[in-house]
């Protein structure tokens, strides 16, 4: 599967979770349910994935932790906030740059209509 197909699968799974639960729960609940939904669809996913970072000779083994990585190709950053902010997009773009991955999905489960809370962030795709 390429990044676009993975993205379609993830969005479908996220919509299923949101349809069942609605807005208003904790981010950790949505993350666990989304991982379950992806697993039921036989889509590999890893959670709390550490990212290394280096700066002028300093090596940080775990500079960040990504919420999830799907099929080792798409980064997921999940939120439960009133409104997505530019800093959320910048955070996901930093993850993409540090890992060399090309596509990330920023998903805000706090929206009444989930599709309003989904942003694709690309890094040289």
CATH number at residue 108: 3.40.1350
d(CA 39, CA 58): 37
What share of the chain in percent tops pLDDT 90?
92
Q: pLDDT band at residue 57, thresholds of 50, 70 and 90?
A: very high
* Counted domains in the chain: 1
Range list of β-strands (E), 37-102: 45-55, 58-70, 74-79
Q: What digits encode the pLDDT tens for the residues 94-125?
A: 999 999 999 999 999 999 999 999 999 999 86
pLDDT of residue 63 exceeding 90: no
* Domain of residue 46, residue span: 3-122
């Amino acid at each position: 599967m390429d990044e676009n197909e993975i993205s379609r699968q993830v969005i479908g799974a996220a919509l299923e979770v949101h349809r069942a639960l609605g807005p208003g729960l904790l981010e950790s609940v949505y993350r666990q349910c989304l991982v379950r939904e992806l697993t039921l669809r036989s889509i590999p996913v890893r959670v709390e994935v550490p990212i290394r970072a280096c700066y002028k000779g300093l090596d940080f083994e775990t500079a960040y932790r990504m919420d999830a990585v799907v099929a080792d190709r798409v980064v997921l950053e999940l939120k439960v906030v009133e409104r997505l902010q530019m800093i959320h997009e910048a955070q996901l773009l930093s993850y993409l740059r540090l890992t060399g991955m090309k596509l990330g999905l920023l998903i805000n489960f706090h929206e009444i209509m989930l599709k309003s809370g989904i942003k694709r962030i690309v890094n040289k795709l």
